[in-house]
Structure 1
């Protein structure tokens, strides 16, 4: 028996991501035949009202008949997250077997993590050290190192590390999962994946939309805490990690931690750009968004240059860039190779390997060759694999993949505590040194490529951004 307890069942994340993901798993029969999904929220709903609410709010479902069959299987329990009595009432009527899987998904604000986990334990629903009892924690995992440590310390009173699944949905994306496959299963790339052949690396996660209903959270967070601390540092760690051991989960995480501990700046004041979008055309500026302070200095864009202080990457620059209200929505990693010594005809553009994460999935390799009909004229050509172009290919959504991994008890696509800790240590040190930059934030028009200072960051090194 699988019992899936969804806390925050009427929230935005559940509506947009979790119910569609659970439905796909249900429709593909990836959930066990004996599954009970218990939706838990603070709204005064009964089961029928929940079904109506979900049916009205969730869109884009292909198989409507199966969708309504799925909805009718959902149960609803109203519960005050801080009330132990409500948890004790929740357990009434449930019969337990030793190997029942209890999956507790906390799609709530972080301030509810601690009372929910403690009351689950006190009521007997959650048992420490029981491998069949699993807790999924949604991002953000704290707002700084202190709060993240406090959450983790509290969790450790009631569950072991192997029972905790810290969600970073980027790790569930197909091409993020493919990074290690690409590196370690192709000698063409692995042999050249180092300082001797790679000039620099660019990681871009650009968003074309604003903050929407997340303004209250985002104005206290900003692009660095919201995106760099989790998604982009995880992508960097997968690119820069040195293979260790048998490449099992523990080996991979330890290799990523080695990278996170080795991150450094030459000079934060010169190597970090902070930006904020302003109104342009019919698009609002950040300070005009509902819920944003009218004099907010929160960054909605950041670009930075950093180094990984490990022998494999000596002298290699890593550029990270992310922002909201940019001209396009795109997530890509670009590996830029060094130009060959003694190139014919006086030089050539560098080879690049682009790992395309969103919206298209795939990879693209640029190389140089002779222009047909000439003797020495060079042209650049591309070889591209478009995974999302494949006939009858329908990539699973990240949440679909990640939920399935929890059901199976696999941690591979989830973060361990020491990863989160070193991410926050790096980000906090950077933020402390970025205080003066907040006073000289770079403004950029909504719908543009971002502030010019981000282009200048690369231009000073004789480079350009390849994405966006």
Structure 2
């Protein structure tokens, strides 16, 4: 059981309740919250979908995805189903009859339904907060470029208040992501060197060994840049780059994060590389090329890899590049942030370093698969000559805490129910991320992505991008 206060009772309405997101992540996360005593016993789940089903059918569809059957048995009877079309007013009229008091509306739907569902909720009076809070959770992708993101924000905010909107990014639910602020602001030795005087550059990596697989149709209309960079990676950049907030209040933290994104300069095409995986081998198994995947346009230009150099023009970060990269079909699954500190200012150790790049003096924050952090420094190699080598002090969450199996949505759902928007993106953050990558979206309408073998670390152009600055990528864990 957790010591955190229990969230108030509410009806959690999940649009798209028969989809993978609800079955694999959302409801299992709610079961975990129930097990830990973090949601009220009067909280209910109402699934909405177009499928011809009933309460029992939804419960049975969820059964196979729940590991903790004991906790599930206590929540299962509070799951109900409403069949309805998301574009029919009758669906929302029926919903209004069933939803009273506090309510959260979770849009686990295709992006084209985000605007229409919010409009329909407002038209049915379901966003009025006279009898309790009413909150809307919106998944990514939030728009597909700057113009569409601005239009979607304008449409939604015409019907609801910003405080009612929770633009969710599941990356921010990870313990190590939340630990970034604690590491930065709770440890004076890091705070003292967290600036351009001591930091050489920052790398943010989100690498996946898996390929597109059965998601070809979705991915072919999205690509690596849209899928990961203006949302996930920019949120991590903001946490690394933000100034200390005057409190841990949600508005204070989101304002400081927004300032960082606003200070990021649009990325010119020469500071970015796109790639696309070709046939190769991953974990000993042969992998087909992206263009041979099911429901992928063989004449398309969709990238499965993107790397870019971002400049943040603030007093703290001027002259410190942020290198971002993400891709599928790579040699390992690895989401991490590497803060590379500057080398010692004198040539005392010249000629004593072991081969390799980068070399020591760095902080690695591992988000997945093994959450934790390590501080790498240099030490003398035993022997009669002065030779140094990088060593590290490591911390892993699983070694210190009983982490247990989490879906990554537990904290986020709890925060929605308690009204804490700290880990959710504000409209200006969303639009700021798109603004930075818009030049790449425009430029990449032409040309072809650079090929790279599945199971490799990515295209050669990405290595060249960082090498021209005299640096190199951290190895994938």
Residue 391 of structure 1: how far off its partner (Å): 5.7
Deviations 1:241-287 (A, max 9, x none): 1224335322222222222122226x734321110011225211111
Contact conserved, 1:332 with 1:467, CA < 8 A, in 2? Answer: no
CA distance in 1: counterparts of 2:302 and 2:131, whole angstroms = 42
The equivalent residue for 2:427 is 417
Relative distance call for 1:247 and 1:374 in structure 2 (3 A) is: farther
Residue 124 of structure 1: how far off its partner (Å): 2.6
The equivalent residue for 1:261 is 262
CA distance in 1: counterparts of 2:49 and 2:366, whole angstroms = 37
- Give the alignment partner of residue 89 of structure 1, picking from 64, 77, 94: 94
Deviations 1:38-84 (A, max 9, x none): 1111101011122222224x2xx432233344333210010111111
- TM-score by length of structure 2 reads 0.91
CA distance in 2: counterparts of 1:275 and 1:440, whole angstroms = 8
CA distance in 2: counterparts of 1:310 and 1:108, whole angstroms = 38
What is the Cα-based RMSD across aligned positions, in Å?
2.0
Contact conserved, 2:34 with 2:71, CA < 8 A, in 1? Answer: no
CA distance in 2: counterparts of 1:269 and 1:405, whole angstroms = 38
Deviations 1:399-448 (A, max 9, x none): 1110011011100110111100111111213322444xx51421011111
- TM-score by length of structure 1 reads 0.93
The equivalent residue for 1:393 is 403
CA distance in 2: counterparts of 1:153 and 1:197, whole angstroms = 41
CA distance in 2: counterparts of 1:129 and 1:198, whole angstroms = 50
Relative distance call for 1:330 and 1:236 in structure 2 (3 A) is: same
Contact conserved, 2:209 with 2:455, CA < 8 A, in 1? Answer: yes
Q: Would you say 1:458 and 2:466 are equivalent positions? A: yes
The equivalent residue for 1:283 is 287
CA distance in 2: counterparts of 1:212 and 1:9, whole angstroms = 23
Contact conserved, 1:338 with 1:350, CA < 8 A, in 2? Answer: no
Contact conserved, 1:174 with 1:395, CA < 8 A, in 2? Answer: no
Contact conserved, 2:202 with 2:321, CA < 8 A, in 1? Answer: yes
SS, match of residue 221 in structure 2: helix
SS, match of residue 384 in structure 1: strand
SS, match of residue 77 in structure 1: strand
Contact conserved, 1:51 with 1:71, CA < 8 A, in 2? Answer: yes
CA distance in 1: counterparts of 2:447 and 2:288, whole angstroms = 22
- Give the alignment partner of residue 364 of structure 2, picking from 347, 351, 354: 354
Contact conserved, 1:203 with 1:332, CA < 8 A, in 2? Answer: yes
SS, match of residue 303 in structure 1: strand
CA distance in 2: counterparts of 1:66 and 1:251, whole angstroms = 36
Contact conserved, 1:5 with 1:40, CA < 8 A, in 2? Answer: yes
Structure 1 runs (4+) deviating above 4 angstroms are 128-131
Q: Would you say 1:73 and 2:78 are equivalent positions? A: yes
**1:310-389 equivalences in 2 (<5 Å):** 310-346=314-350, 348=353, 349-374=359-384, 376-389=386-399
CA distance in 2: counterparts of 1:445 and 1:332, whole angstroms = 22
The equivalent residue for 2:40 is 32
CA distance in 2: counterparts of 1:216 and 1:82, whole angstroms = 23
CA distance in 1: counterparts of 2:412 and 2:453, whole angstroms = 36
SS, match of residue 306 in structure 2: strand
Residue 395 of structure 1: how far off its partner (Å): 6.3
CA distance in 2: counterparts of 1:302 and 1:93, whole angstroms = 46
Residue 460 of structure 1: how far off its partner (Å): 2.0
Relative distance call for 1:130 and 1:417 in structure 2 (3 A) is: farther
The equivalent residue for 1:213 is 214
CA distance in 2: counterparts of 1:341 and 1:110, whole angstroms = 51
CA distance in 1: counterparts of 2:131 and 2:155, whole angstroms = 17
CA distance in 1: counterparts of 2:403 and 2:423, whole angstroms = 22
Deviations 1:370-395 (A, max 9, x none): 23343522232111111123363326
